[in-house]
């Protein structure tokens, strides 16, 4: 069966520090991968998605970047964190070659607090 792992579960970082959040998927190949941010009282916002190694699409201009160095690894990064980067970050995957009615499967998220 497929599983998705995200870490760390919680993170407290000072303003201006770098960030690296990692997500890995097991039990599937060539998944579509996604990074979302969920702010309190707001719907999930898609930050990045990837359909293959090295292929990254950015949905909103921001202080963050994403990379996909391996088929089942997705990394969210920042060189200098801002207060506004605080939030709940979720990684998700969906079947790469399936019709668009395939569900997206989410990890358990990283709670990021910027001080």
Provide the binding-site residues for another protein, judged by CB under 8 A.
6, 32, 41-46, 49, 51, 57, 59, 90, 92, 94, 97, 100-109, 111
By beta-carbon proximity to another protein, the closer residue of 59 and 79 is 59
- Closest separation between CB of residue 37 and another protein, Å? 11
**Cα separation, 114 vs 3, whole angstroms:** 29
Beta bridge partners of 65: 77
- Closest separation between CB of residue 3 and another protein, Å? 12
């Amino acid at each position: 069966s497929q599983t998705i792992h995200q870490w760390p579960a919680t993170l407290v970082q000072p303003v201006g520090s770098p960030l690296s959040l990692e997500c890995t998927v097991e039990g599937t190949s060539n998944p579509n991968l996604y990074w979302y941010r969920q702010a309190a009282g707001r719907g999930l916002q898609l930050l990045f998605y990837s359909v293959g190694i090295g292929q990254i699409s950015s949905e909103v201009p921001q202080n963050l970047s994403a990379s996909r160095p391996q088929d089942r690894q997705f990394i969210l990064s920042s060189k200098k964190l801002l207060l506004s980067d605080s939030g709940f970050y979720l990684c998700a995957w969906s079947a790469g070659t399936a019709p668009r009615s395939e569900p997206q499967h989410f990890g358990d998220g990283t709670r990021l607090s910027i001080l």
